[in-house]
C-alpha cells in the first residue's frame, strides 16, 4: 500500500552491503551507487544486485510520486476517521496565492464565537492567511450582517447560528471539521449576568466542544483562554514580566476568571483523548493579555464617556501600575499559526498554554488607552489618581451591595467593583518567547501599525469628532 504522506516520519533505514559485517559498506536508500565502489564481486552477483537495486529505486520513486499525487484525495478520505493533513509540514509562512493549486482548499475550520470581538478577527485572518482553507464555519449565537460580504470569495463560508450550551448543536457544527478554534465565551466582569450562566457558557460550553471533537473525530482544538486564568489575583500581587512557568498564586473569587480557569483545565486535560477513528485529540490554550483594537467595546465605552464629560477622563489608577496589552490582529495571527502547526508539532505543542503577546508598550490601563483616545480629542486629567485608593475600595464595595439589593428589580452593572479595581491596580505584564520557540510566532502588526489602526477605528465610531 502507498505510504500515507501525512503520517509521522519513520526512521531512515540503511541497507548494508550483502557480504559485509561492518557499516563501511552501507548506503542510504536514496543513494544510486550500488554496489559500493571497490566491491570484489563476481559478475553475475554484480548484475543481480544492480538489477535488484534499480528495481528498489524505481519502486521508491513510484511510491513517492503516487503519495504526492494522492495528497488531495487522501486528505478528503481520511478526515472522516480523524486523520487530517499536516498543517505545518506544508509551509508555515505561506501567503495567499503562494500555495500550489494541488495543495489548496482542503481544510475545514470551525470558529466558535466567530462573530465576537476576537472571533471576527480570527475569521478574517484565516480567510487572508490560510491558503489551504476549503470551508470556514462560523458558529455563534448571534450572526453579524458582515458575514454576507465573505460569502463571495473562493472559500466556502458557512454561518451557523447556535448555542455552545446545546451539545447537539455543537456536535452538528463540529462534524467533518479538521480544526476547531473555540473562541466562544461569556466575558463579564461587571455582573451583568449570573454566575450560573457564566459557568454554563464558559465551562459546560467548552466541555460540549471537547465531546463533539471526540465523537466526530476532529483531532485539533485550540482554546482561547485568558491571562485572567493566572491573574491578577484578588490579593493584588504583581506579575512582573512573567512567562508561562512563572510561579504565581492564582486565587480567584469572581465567576469569570474561575470559569476560564476551569475551561482551560478541561481543554488541557483532554489532550491525548482518543477520538472517533482511534487517533489522539491534540489541544492547546492561548492566553491573551488585555486585548485592544478595532471592535473593542470597552475602548468605545471609554471614548463615549469622555465625550459626555467634555472631552475629559479622570485618572483613577497610578501611572506606575503596568499592564500588558496585545493587539487583536496579533492574537488572531497567533491562532492561525497554532492551527497550522498543531498536528506537525503535536508532541511539543499538545497540552501547552501560550501567552499572546506583541510589542505593545507596558503602561497603566488609562495611559495606554490614551494612546488612542488622545489623538481623538480626549485628555486624561491628573498626574495622580483624583481619589484615594481607600475611597475607591469603599465605592467598589458599595457598588457590590447595591447590585445585590437591586438585582430583583433591575440590572445594575457598574464599571467599578472589587474585582475590576484589583485588576486595574495590579501590575500584570508578560515577557515570553515560548510561542516563537514552539511554532515560529512573530507579531504580524508592529506597535505603530496597531496604534494607527485602532485610532482610525475610534475616529469612525458613532459620535466621534
CA distance 282 to 268: 9
CA distance 428 to 185: 22
Q: Which residues 6+ apart lie within 8 Å of 203 measured at CB?
A: 259, 262, 263, 266
Considering the chain, tell me which residue range(s) the CATH 3.40.50.720 domain(s) occupy.
Answer: 79-367+425-460
pLDDT tops 80 at residue 331: yes
Q: How far is CA 115 from CA 119, 138, 333, 411, in A?
A: 6, 8, 17, 25
Exposed, middle or buried: residue 12 (CB in 10 Å: 0-12, 13-18, 19+)? exposed
CA distance 134 to 112: 17
CA distance 289 to 236: 17
* Digit-coded pLDDT (tens) for 55-114: 555 555 555 444 444 433 333 333 333 332 222 322 222 333 333 334 456 999 999 999
pLDDT band for 233, please (50, 70, 90 cuts). confident
Which three-class secondary structure string do you get for 101-146? HHHCCCEEEEEECCCCHHHHHHHHHHHHHCCCEEEEEEEECCCCHH
Q: Which fold has domain 79-367+425-460?
A: Rossmann fold (3.40.50)
| Predicted pLDDT at 368 | 96
Q: Which residue has the higher pLDDT, 423 or 446?
A: 446
CA distance 391 to 322: 21
Catalytic residues, which ones?
256
pLDDT band for 234, please (50, 70, 90 cuts). confident
Backbone φ and ψ for 90, nearest 5 degrees, come out as -95, 10
Task: Please count the helices (runs of H) and the strands (runs of E) in the chain.
Answer: 15, 13
* Digit-coded pLDDT (tens) for 393-443: 999 999 999 999 998 898 898 888 999 898 899 999 999 999 999 999 999
Residue with cell 470569495: 153
* Digit-coded pLDDT (tens) for 241-276: 999 999 999 888 899 999 999 999 999 999 999 999
| Predicted pLDDT at 104 | 55
Q: What is the 3-state composition of the chain as percent helix, strand, coil, each rounded to the nearest 5?
A: 45, 15, 45
Q: How far is CA 188 from CA 191, 207, 290, 367, 454, in A?
A: 6, 20, 14, 23, 23
* Digit-coded pLDDT (tens) for 337-396: 999 999 899 999 999 999 999 999 999 999 999 999 999 999 999 989 988 999 999 999
Amino acid at each position: 500500500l502507498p505510504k500515507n504522506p501525512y503520517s509521522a516520519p519513520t526512521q531512515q533505514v540503511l541497507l548494508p552491503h550483502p557480504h559485509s559485517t561492518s557499516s563501511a559498506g552501507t548506503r542510504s536508500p536514496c543513494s544510486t551507487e550500488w554496489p559500493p565502489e571497490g566491491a570484489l564481486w563476481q559478475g553475475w552477483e554484480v548484475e543481480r544486485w544492480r538489477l535488484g537495486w534499480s528495481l528498489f529505486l524505481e519502486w521508491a520513486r513510484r511510491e513517492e510520486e503516487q503519495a504526492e499525487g494522492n495528497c488531495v484525495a487522501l486528505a478528503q478520505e481520511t478526515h472522516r476517521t480523524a486523520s487530517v493533513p499536516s498543517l505545518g509540514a506544508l509551509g508555515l509562512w505561506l501567503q495567499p496565492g503562494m500555495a500550489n493549486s494541488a495543495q489548496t482548499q482542503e481544510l475545514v475550520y470551525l470558529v466558535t464565537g466567530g462573530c465576537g470581538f476576537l472571533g471576527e478577527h480570527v475569521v478574517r485572518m484565516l480567510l487572508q492567511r490560510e491558503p489551504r482553507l476549503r470551508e470556514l464555519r462560523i458558529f455563534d449565537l448571534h450572526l453579524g450582517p458582515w458575514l454576507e460580504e465573505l460569502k463571495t470569495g473562493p472559500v466556502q463560508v458557512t454561518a451557523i447560528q447556535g448555542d455552545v450550551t446545546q451539545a447537539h448543536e455543537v456536535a452538528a457544527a463540529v462534524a467533518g471539521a479538521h480544526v476547531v478554534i473555540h473562541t466562544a465565551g461569556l466575558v463579564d466582569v461587571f455582573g451583568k449576568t449570573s454566575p450560573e450562566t457564566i459557568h454554563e457558557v464558559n465551562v459546560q460550553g467548552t466541555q460540549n466542544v471537547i465531546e463533539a471533537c471526540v465523537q466526530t473525530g476532529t483531532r485539533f482544538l485550540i482554546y482561547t483562554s485568558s491571562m485572567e486564568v493566572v491573574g491578577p489575583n484578588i490579593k493584588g500581587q504583581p506579575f512582573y514580566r512573567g512567562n508561562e512557568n512563572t510561579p504565581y498564586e492564582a486565587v480567584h473569587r469572581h465567576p469569570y476568571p474561575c470559569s476560564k480557569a476551569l475551561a482551560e483545565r478541561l481543554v488541557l486535560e483532554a489532550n491525548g483523548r482518543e477520538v472517533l477513528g482511534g487517533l489522539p485529540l491534540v489541544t492547546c490554550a492561548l492566553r491573551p493579555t488585555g486585548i485592544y483594537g478595532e471592535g473593542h467595546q470597552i475602548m468605545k465605552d471609554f471614548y463615549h464617556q469622555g465625550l459626555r464629560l467634555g472631552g475629559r477622563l479622570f485618572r483613577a489608577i497610578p501611572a506606575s501600575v503596568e499592564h500588558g496589552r496585545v493587539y487583536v490582529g496579533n492574537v488572531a495571527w497567533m491562532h492561525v499559526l497554532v492551527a497550522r502547526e498543531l498536528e506537525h508539532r503535536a508532541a511539543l505543542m499538545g497540552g501547552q498554554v501560550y501567552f499572546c503577546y506583541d510589542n505593545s508598550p507596558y503602561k497603566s490601563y488609562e495611559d495606554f488607552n490614551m494612546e488612542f483616545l488622545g489623538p481623538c480629542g480626549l485628555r486624561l486629567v491628573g498626574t495622580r489618581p483624583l481619589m484615594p485608593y481607600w475611597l475607591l475600595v469603599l465605592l467598589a464595595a458599595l457598588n457590590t451591595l447595591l447590585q445585590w439589593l437591586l438585582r430583583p428589580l433591575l440590572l445594575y452593572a457598574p464599571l467599578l467593583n472589587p474585582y475590576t479595581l484589583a485588576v486595574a491596580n495590579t501590575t500584570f505584564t508578560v515577557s515570553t518567547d515560548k510561542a516563537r520557540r514552539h511554532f515560529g510566532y512573530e507579531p504580524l502588526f508592529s506597535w505603530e501599525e496597531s496604534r494607527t489602526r485602532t485610532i482610525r477605528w475610534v475616529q469612525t465610531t458613532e459620535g466621534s469628532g
